[in-house]
Amino acid sequence: MYYHGKELKIFSGNSNKPLADEVAEILGTKVGDTKVTKFSDGEISVNTEETVRGYDTFVIQATNNPVNDNLMELLIMIDAYKRASVGRVTAVIPYYGYARQDRKLKSRDPISAKLVANLITKSGADRVLTVDLHASQVQGYFNIPVDNLRGEPIIGKYFVDKGFKDRDDVVLVAPDAASVPRVRKLATRLDAPIAIIDRKKDKLTGEEIVTIIGEVKGKCALLMDDIIDTGTRMARGSEILIVKGAKEVYGACSHPVLSGDAVEKIKNSEIKEVVMLNTINLPEEKRLEKFTILSIAPLMAEAVRRIYENDPVSKLFE
């Protein structure tokens, strides 16, 4: 039996403090007093100034860039709370780094997503709450409960409110075949058809061969991906769609990783607007006028509340 006390405990590492503050505010509490700094040699230092003994505790920490620092912060925080006799600790990971390394593509490849799952479990986490895992099978890498929240309903509501469901010229576009299940869910919400961009290289010439499966000519195309990392797929995809006759292109993603010159690529692309979630805290210099950032905090706060009160989280997936 877990002692809930007068209030649940929420703590945050350094990766996404604004999201943690928003979740805590919705739940009527504050982020706990933990200072996560570095020693002179770069090692992570965690210092918690309040008790966690017997409490149901949630640690909010995304594992985006700097990936390894953020991951170590999460692991050390969990370890610290377990050693302080926490009742239960849930790792709340808005963005799960290493999830794309979920299988062996060639000999001697690691399966890093499984390794990270092992590290989180061994550090002492009792369960994991995350958002839009790149590959759903990553849930199976854990031997503890994993709740994988979906960001698509939030993005879908935005476009419904924008009038996309009432238009007959909208098409949802998957950047590749693997993205179809995710795109189909959003297409169902918008009562829109889907199209797929199939890109491959000619083995002899090395030239790119592009095929569009579905109709995009004269359409308003909504290109959806779970992650925007280098920005190449989103920028190149929008260019392809315009060449193939789309009259305008919108983009959407759950996780705006935006590595390297991704922001510049999207800024100079044909995309009219990119809708994204705040699973990763974007610095001001990466926030373009064409970026619309939606908050995952209300959904995450409700999931935290349900876990805390031992209510079903499955309702949030309906």
Binding residues for ATP: 41-43, 100-101
286/258 Cα distance (integer angstroms): 8
Q: Which of 226, 227, 294, 290 is nearest to 264 (CA)?
A: 290
Residues comprising the binding site? Answer: 41-43, 100-101, 134, 176, 225
CA angle 238, 244, 245 (to 5 degrees): 95
> Which string of b and e fits 160-193 if b means at least 16 CB within 10 Å?
eeeebeeeeebbbbbbeeebbebbebbbebbebe
Structure-token pair, residue 187: 């297409």
Amino acid (one-letter) located at 104: K
Q: In 10 A of CB 79, how many CB atoms?
A: 16
Sheet holding 271-277, edge to edge: 208-213, 194-201, 170-174, 220-224, 248-253, 271-277, 291-294
- Strand 194-201, strand 208-213: pairing: antiparallel
Residues comprising the binding site for Mg(2+)? Answer: 134, 176
Residues comprising the binding site for D-ribose 5-phosphate? Answer: 225
